Amino acid sequence: MKLRGSPCGPLAGAFPVPGDKSLSHRALIFGALATGETVIAGLLESEDVLATAEALRAFGVRVERFGPGRWRVIGGQWRSPEAPVDCGNSGTAVRLLMGAAAGQGVRATFTGDSSLSKRPMRRVTGPLEAMGVRIEGGDRLPLTVAGPVTRGLAHLNVPASAQVKSAVLLAGLGTDQPVEIAEPVPSRDHTEIMLAEFGVEVERDGTVTRLGAKRTLEARLVEVSGDPSSAAFVLGAAAIVPGSEVSVKDVLLNPHRSGFVMALQRMGADLAMANIRGRGGETIGDVRVRFGPLFGAEFTAEEIPSMVDEIPILAVVAAGAQGETRIEGLDELRHKESDRLALMAEGLAACGVDARADGDALVVRGGAIRGGAAVRTEGDHRIAMSHLVLGLAAEQPIVVDEAEMIGTSFPTFRDAMRRLGAKIDEVEE
């Protein structure tokens, strides 16, 4: 399905964004490792998260939906699935499940779609192998992981990856040996926070995270807050469509996830945060953005992990700003659902924006956005949503070639945007 984002009037409204994808995967997996019945409210029911739910069933775990966003997971000992476990498009699903399965001492073969099958996995299987886990396969799926974990590990998490850190911590639940991870640049810490909520002893000492003696989980209630990576499309659109004013409610504001909000502020956006509070060990709140003048800015490699999935929409915001924006340290973007660095430079340029990749940096010079182009997404949800938002602020509509994949992270994107006044519609073929 092709979608078109067209120039439109001001966006206005307030709404709660759907549940956070990172928290949703973790709530299901941790519930599956816990003793007792975990109840989850606000789970993101996107394809990536549903892939995790289905995978857990293959491991013999009872996972049930009992209402919109309301799920029940009955944890216990996992069994080795006979058939390969298909993780679809989701890097988080496959990498966290490899670690968790190893820690449970089971054997499983993991597969994924064509995009996931191109993504590097050695970054996870390497550390798991060092923990005594048997691995069959190379750097790409399909791969077989066979527990048990027989050794502890001290791991240096470079490049900063929360998926690798999580896989090591989850595998570490299966041993009483020391397990620690050092991070020169911190990646998102939802695993550390949620494991502690589930009763695991997690010691955090500056840049080092260590598992303590208690490595068992007890079931609990998990309330999933709004996804800042989805909110970024809404806020980014409000920042560049003249006259807009939009608020997102109950969104996760963990400092390792709020890089995009900080970036908007640095670019001069009219932005306010309110109602900041704690929930389930995380910080959440509401964010309001009003259209106003934006200015180009520089972002360094150290800032990237706090907005790694938001770089495509940040590049779109940069297209609507005055002057040059330079975003450094984007090598990891080449290893996501697509080569996001190359596709953003290509898509923006096709829409008449002065944008280019410069080594592992993205350089965007803002100004009038011509649009009037069809853009290639290579099935990457964030590339699709970013260009649809760009179309709202362009002179001519922008068409994206494949929009189904938006369902992997933000299935209600089109409805949510349309309710705010955005013009996003299907292109008849």
Which residues does the annotation place in the binding site for phosphoenolpyruvate?
Answer: 21, 91, 119, 163, 340, 382
Q: How many CA atoms lie within 13 A of 52 on its CB side?
A: 32
Do 129 and 135 form a contact (C-beta atoms < 8 A)?
A: yes
Does residue 382 interact with ligand PEP by CB under 6 A? yes
Q: How far apart are CA 137 and CA 148, in angstroms?
A: 17
Q: How many CA atoms lie within 13 A of 195 on its CB side?
A: 26
State which residue, 21 or 220, has the beta carbon closest to ligand PEP. Answer: 21
Q: How far apart are CA 67 and CA 172, in angstroms?
A: 33
Does residue 91 interact with ligand PEP by CB under 6 A? yes
**Residues near ligand S3P, by CB under 6 A:** 22, 92, 161-163, 166, 187-188, 308-309
Interaction pattern, residues 337-376, with ligand PEP; x per rule: CB under 6 A: x---------------------------------------
Q: Closest distance between ligand PEP and the C-beta of residue 99, in Å?
A: 14
Q: How far apart are CA 22 and CA 187, in angstroms?
A: 12
Q: Closest distance between ligand S3P and the C-beta of residue 167, in Å?
A: 9
Does residue 90 interact with ligand PEP by CB under 6 A? yes
Nearest CA among 256, 210, 247, 205 for reference residue 11: 247
Does residue 190 interact with ligand PEP by CB under 6 A? no
Q: Closest distance between ligand PEP and the C-beta of residue 92, in Å?
A: 3
**Residue 348, Ramachandran bin (φ over 0: left; ψ between -120 and 50: alpha; else beta):** alpha
Which stretch, 64-72, 88-96, 129-137, 255-263, contacts ligand PEP (CB under 6 A)? 88-96
State which residue, 164 or 219, has the beta carbon closest to ligand PEP. Answer: 164
- Other CB atoms closer than 10 Å to residue 205's CB: what's the count? 9
Q: Closest distance between ligand S3P and the C-beta of residue 369, in Å?
A: 26
Residue-wise over 167-192: b if at least 16 C-beta within 10 A, else e? bbbbbbbbbeeebbbbbebbbbbbbb
- Would you list which residues are annotated within the binding site? 21-22, 26, 91, 119, 161, 163, 309, 336, 340, 382
Q: Closest distance between ligand PEP and the C-beta of residue 147, in Å?
A: 22
Q: How far apart are CA 88 and CA 98, in angstroms?
A: 14
Do 180 and 154 form a contact (C-beta atoms < 8 A)?
A: yes
**What residues form DSSP beta bridges with 423?**
6
State which residue, 192 or 309, has the beta carbon closest to ligand PEP. Answer: 309
Nearest CA among 135, 389, 145 for reference residue 246: 389
Which of 133, 409, 414, 416 lies at the binding interface for ligand PEP (CB under 6 A)?
409
Does residue 46 interact with ligand PEP by CB under 6 A? no
Q: What token pair was written down for 373?
A: 């182009």
For 322, which DSSP code?
B
Q: What token pair was written down for 25?
A: 């995967």
382 touches which of ligand PEP, ligand S3P, none (CB within 5 to 8 A by kind)?
A: ligand PEP
Which of 26, 336, 365, 414 lies at the binding interface for ligand PEP (CB under 6 A)?
336
303 touches which of ligand PEP, ligand S3P, none (CB within 5 to 8 A by kind)?
A: none
- The percent helix, strand, coil of the chain (3-state, each to 5) is 35, 30, 35
* Dihedral angle of Cα 35, 40, 45, 48, to the nearest 10 degrees: -40
**What residues form DSSP beta bridges with 63?**
73
Which stretch, 87-95, 289-297, 349-357, 383-391, contacts ligand PEP (CB under 6 A)? 87-95
Residue 401 catalytic?
Answer: no
Choose the catalytic residue: 86, 113, 189, 309. 309
Q: Closest distance between ligand PEP and the C-beta of residue 335, in Å?
A: 9
Give, for 365, the enclosing helix (H) or strand (E). strand 361-365
22 touches which of ligand S3P, ligand PEP, none (CB within 5 to 8 A by kind)?
A: ligand S3P
Interaction pattern, residues 241-280, with ligand PEP; x per rule: CB under 6 A: ----------------------------------------
162 touches which of ligand PEP, ligand S3P, none (CB within 5 to 8 A by kind)?
A: ligand S3P
20 touches which of ligand PEP, ligand S3P, none (CB within 5 to 8 A by kind)?
A: none
State which residue, 132 or 228, has the beta carbon closest to ligand PEP. Answer: 228
- DSSP 3-state assignment of 253? coil
250 touches which of ligand PEP, ligand S3P, none (CB within 5 to 8 A by kind)?
A: none
* Dihedral angle of Cα 243, 312, 256, 33, to the nearest 10 degrees: 120
Q: Closest distance between ligand S3P and the C-beta of residue 388, in Å?
A: 19
- Strand-strand pairing, 107-111 and 134-136: unpaired
Q: Which residues bind ligand PEP (CB under 6 A)?
A: 48, 90-92, 309, 336-337, 382, 409
Catalytic positions, please?
309
